[in-house]
Structure formats: structure tokens, C-alpha cells
Chains A and B, each alone.
Chain A
Amino acid sequence: MFYREVGQFKTNYRADQSIFPIRQDRIAIGALLIAAFIVAPLIMNDFWLNSIMIPFLIFALAAIGLNILTGYCGQISLGTGGFMGVGAYACYKLTTIFPDTNIILLILISGIFSAGIGVIFGIPSLRIKGFYLAVATLASQFFLEWAFGRIAWLYNYNDSGAIEVPTRKILEFAVTGPTASPVVRYLVVLSIVVFLTWIASNLVRGRIGRMWMAVRDHDIAAELMGVHLLRTKLMAFAVSSYYCGVAGALMVFLWLGAAEVESFDINQSFLILFMVVIGGLGSLVGAFIGAAFIWILPIFLRAAPGVFGFEIGAATVEHLNFIVVGALIIIFLIAEPNGLARLWQTAKQKLRVWPFPY
């Protein structure tokens, strides 16, 4: 059973253009989906689902969002945390106003509000480029953070200033709120992430994605070839913010259960940016690999001293954690500046020519 596309003939364009043209890929992705949907909920305990799988999927979705903007359209953004917050607060207000509407629908709708805000803050991108733009997106981050804390209407005027997720049910299963079981939440998150990833993979390899990539590679050249810059950049901002917004809503409603302003601060933006760059700019697989790496590494680092029998204070572990993450990021950038996704590509290429690489 070799990983080869030899002998798999395509007789029409449709088949040639499919997402996974190689049969082995289709089998692998099918197996992965079965494992994720059926095996994982059966064998994983609540801790695994709650603190590893659910956040991993949510961060992967946010990383896809940022990757669309930064990796595909070339616009560096440091405002991801703010856009995630818009999604979360929009979803909170929506479910307050329409308590009986299906919560999954509301989560998907809340991304639209985030997209709108993203478009507004994306307008300067037409004139401002590169790091100037990156700093300009910080304006959105700090403004939104301020707004979440100051506009009492957003958190329903409660005293704590935090949002508490109410219980919402679909078909007698509690999906959100304190009574929702991790398995249900995991499956909901997984379905939404898989669905949106599928949409994204089709977007980036179609006409729109090619327009984004043309703008990324050289925006003036793209304009000369007839790509409408304003429309293309704003679309990238809209789609990217939509994904980030949905991820933010998922984060609060299906993972944390409550949130305050600090959940969406600048560090969140950096976390997602790390995932994108470590995973690989301009790669959807990279978003998943990066999210897994950046999210699971600190958990592993916290657990590691205990496993090897060292006793270290919690504060020291936290400091070491910072040092190790910082150093690893530099080491990874030096070793593979194109991200872990490129390693994956290389591995696949090696597999294709194995065992006769010459």
C-alpha cells in the first residue's frame, strides 16, 4: 500500500479539481474524520476533550481566519483578539435578544458582525502597507478591548462586567452553559470547524483565493492585472474576521463558559499569530498543526517536570514556560521559516518517491 498517485487516472475536469485528488489522501482524511467524530468522544475523558481537543479546534479555526488575511492576502493583522471578542459579544447579545433561536445558528450569525467590524478596520489597508498596517490594526485591538469594558450594554449591565453563558438546548441536549457535557460541546465545535474549514479550502483555491494570493505577492501588479484591490482586501478582512468571530463565539460559548475583556486582549492576538506563523503562512493544514503545537506545548511543559520527578514551584514553571516557548519559536523559525506545514509537505514528497528517491 504505497502512497502513490500512479494509476489513478482522471477522466474529467471535475475529478481532476477535487480537493483530494489522490485516493490515499481521501482514505486518510476519511479515517481522520471517523476518528475525530466517533473514536475520540468514545475514548477521551472529559479532561482531554475540555482542555485539549475543544480549545485546539477553536484556535485552529481562529488561525485559519488569520491565515486567510495574513497568509493568503498578505495583510499583517494584530487585531485577532478583538475580532474574536466581537463574535463572542455579538453572540451573547443575540442569544439574550432571541433566547429561543438555535444557538449554533446564532454562533454562525455572530461572525457576520465581526466581519462588519473587520471591514471597517480594514479600510486603511488600502493606503497603509506592511508593518504600518500591522500597527494600525493594533488600533482596532485596543479600541475594541476598551469598548468591551466600557459599553455596559454589551454585557447586559451586570456588575462583574463579564459575560456568563446561559444554558441553551438543542433537541434536549444542553449545548452551552454549565450543564452541557464535554462530548456534546466537542461534537458541535468539531462539526462547525470541519464545515468552515471545508468552505475555506474551497475559497482559497478558487477565484477569490487566487485574487488574494495575487495581492499578497504584489498588490500593484495584481491591480494592473485587473484585480480590484479595495474589494479584494476588504473581502479578505471580512472573511478573516468572520472566522475569527465564530472562533471567539465558540471559545466563550462552548469552551470557557464565561469571559471578560482580558480573554480578548493583545496576547490572544499574538497567540493566534504564533500559530499561523509556526504552522505555516498560507496553509490550512498549517493552521491546525500550529494550533496543536502552540496549544499543547505549554500543557506538556507544565506536566513535564512532574513526570520526570522534579519538584518546581508553579511560578518557576510559568517562567520556564515563557523561556522555552520563546526559544522554541526562534528555533522553529530558523529551522523552517515556512512553518510546520512545509515539513509536512516535504514528508509527503519523500513518501511519494520512497523507496527510490533518485
Chain B
Amino acid sequence: MGEFAYMVLIDPFVQMFELPDFFVQVIWEGFVGGVLYSLIALGFVLIFKASGVFNFAQGIMVVFAALTLVGLNAMGVQAHLALVLTVVVMLVLAFSVERLVLRPLVNQPDIILFMATIGLTYFLIGFGELLFGGEPKIMISDQLGLPSGAVDFDILGGLVSLQKIDIAAIFIAGAMVAVLAVFFDKTRIGRALRAVADDHQAALSVGISLSTIWVVVWFTAGIVALTTGIMWGARSDVSFALQIVAFKALPVLILGGFTSIPGAIVGGLIIGIGEKIGEVYWGPLVGGSIESWLAYFIALIFLMFRPQGLFGEKIIERV
């Protein structure tokens, strides 16, 4: 028993101190994973804030966007043109979702809308596979001008190796969040978006069109999904196995709160780094692969103390 307590409570920390370069590497890996989780969660939050829909299809939109990009390229379209076309496809998707799914389901209970997005998930899986085939594909990162290779640093008496694509991913993610922040803060439509997020009825009463806003948020979420898809696809490959990543974004969401963009980012980083450290230092004790559920337990522990997530709006209930 004492030995087990040593293995759980002390040994991992000893390892961290003995090999600090490896520890930094682990944190870096977790950080990059966390950024990508944040991006998926960001798509969720955008839609949840503006329409109150728990969009289960966000993960599939990531795959679908990446698949469209790669598929179009495989059909002979030049890479950057394919990128533009994919953006158009995401716009069409946003329009059709608003017109065919959201509008007829206005005022239905949350669970019905949630189920509808699961239906949308199935539809997109089938549609994407039918058009572009189900086999894993390689992301066209070279054609898009994304860097490859690694940068090595000699620090802490060892070697820390950073993939260039990961660095690029972090910069692009940061840029996108900045652009979104400016978009929300400074533009007319961004202000309308925040008004809708605050109160649907009040927004309607000052003349904001809900359906336009919904198209805009679904489109924005589509762009976020496309970016995430490119980044994640460049790290591994493009296939529907990517949707398992979407399940990782869910604990990020509950950790950060459904309604908070900073929450999605901070939550993503906590989950990304936490699960990597847990997997590397504590995973072997229980047989490994604990990554699949550790994120949920981290989120659950936070949730026990703050049921609305770290940054979520306080839930006030009246009888």
C-alpha cells in the first residue's frame, strides 16, 4: 500500500524534476493539443451563445471541412482555390442548417435541438463519405504553404523539439481569436451577435434579425471548424477518426462554461496539458490509454465546485 502511494503521489514528481526537458516537451505537446481542443470548443460556444443550441455536429463540421478541402484538391482544384471553395461550402452549410433545421425547430426544448444536431452529424458523415470516400487522407499542408519539420532547443540539459506546424497552429489560432474578438467588439454585426447572446427577445425588439445572426454564427463556426480541421489534419491525417477529438472538446466546454469564449480557451489548455501529464506520468500505473476519460474526470472535479463551469454565467433558477 505504501509503495503504491509512493508510485502515485511522489514518483511522478520525481520524474518531472529528474528530466525537466522531457517535462517541458510533455507540456508543449499538451499545450498544442489544448489549443486545438480550444478551437473546437470555440465553435460550440459561438453557436450555443447565439442560439442556445448544443451543437453536437461541431466535431463533424471539423472533419467535413477538412475532407472537403482535401477532396476538392484531389479532384484537381488548386489548393488555395480549394480553400476558398471550402469556405463557400461552409457558408452554404450554414444557410441550409438555418433554413432546414433551426427555423422549423424554433422554440422546441433543448434536447430536441440537440438531437437534431446529432441527426445532422449522421447526415454529414454519410454525405462526406459518399462524396469524398471514407479512407484516411493526407492534409495538403505543403500546398497551403504551412511549414513542416521541427525546431530543436537545447535547454534544461536536454533537447526539446517543437514541430513547426504546431507553432504555426498556435499563431493561427491566436490570430483567429484576435480577429473574432475585434469582430465581436467593433463591427455592427458583432454587436448584434452579442445582443442576441444576451437576450433573444430584446434583440428581436430592437430590430435584429435572428435568422441572419444564426447564419452568421454557423458560418463563423464553420470557419473555425475549417481552421481546426486543417491544423489537426496536418498533425495526423484527415478521416472520420478525427471526430473522437470532438468528444475531447466536450469536457473543455463544461470546464470553461458553455457561454464563455475565454472559458473555451482556458479550459482547452487545462484539459490539453492536464491529460497529457496524466497520461505520461500516471497512465502507466493503471495500464495506459487513460487519455480517453481523464479529461472528463478533470472537468467533473471542477464542475463539482462550479456547476456552470469556470467562466460560465451563474445559473439562476426561479420556481
Contacts and interface: CB of A to CB of B under 8 A. Distances in A.
Interface of A: 70, 76, 124, 127-132, 134-136, 138-139, 142-143, 145-146, 149-150, 218, 220-221, 224, 266, 270, 273-274, 277, 281, 315-316, 318-330, 333-334, 337
A136 B123 contact: no
B99 to A, nearest CB: 12
A61 B127 CA distance: 32
Nearest to B133: A315
B22 interface: no
B118 A323 contact: no
A207 to B, nearest CB: 22
Q: Is the interface of A mostly helix, strand, loop or mixed?
A: helix
B101 A330 contact: yes
A130 B120 CA distance: 21
A127 B304 contact: yes
Given A146-B293, A322-B129, A139 B119 contact: no
11 contacts: A124-B300, A138-B247, A139-B296, A139-B300, A142-B293, A273-B115, A320-B126, A322-B123, A322-B129, A326-B122, A333-B115
B119 A333 contact: yes
A285 to B, nearest CB: 19
A138 B300 CA distance: 10
A131 B121 contact: no
B311 interface: no
Nearest to A144: B293
Contact of A220 (B105, B116, B296, B319): B319
A329 B300 contact: no
Nearest to B297: A139
Interface in B62-106: 100-101, 104-105
A330 B303 contact: no
From A139, A315, A329, name the one whose CB has the most chain B CB atoms within 10 angstroms: A139
A330 B116 CA distance: 5
Nearest to B107: A337
B289 A135 contact: no
A322 B122 CA distance: 5
Nearest to B258: A131
Q: Ordered nearest first, which 10 A-B pairs have the shortest CB separation?
A: A322-B126, A326-B122, A326-B123, A139-B296, A329-B119, A323-B126, A142-B293, A319-B130, A330-B119, A143-B293
A135 B251 contact: yes
A9 to B, nearest CB: 39
B112 A333 contact: yes
B39 interface: no
B126 A321 contact: yes
B297 to A, nearest CB: 6
B319 A127 contact: no
A270 B119 CA distance: 10
Interface string B35-60: 00000000000000000001000000
Nearest to A329: B119
Nearest to B127: A323
Nearest to B112: A337
A57 to B, nearest CB: 23
Contacts of A270: 118
B242 interface: no
Contacts of B100: 330
A329 B134 contact: no
Interface in B244-303: 247, 250-251, 253-254, 258, 286-290, 292-293, 296-297, 299-300, 303
Contacts of A324: 126
Contact of B124 (A70, A136, A326): A326
A289 to B, nearest CB: 16
B307 interface: yes
A132 B254 contact: yes
Given A142-B247, A220-B319, A325-B122, 7 more contacts: A138-B250, A319-B126, A322-B122, A323-B123, A326-B123, A337-B109, A337-B112
B315 interface: yes
Given A277-B112, A337-B105, A129 B315 contact: yes
From B104, B109, B122, name the one whose CB has the most chain A CB atoms within 10 angstroms: B122
B142 interface: no
Contacts of B299: 135-136, 139
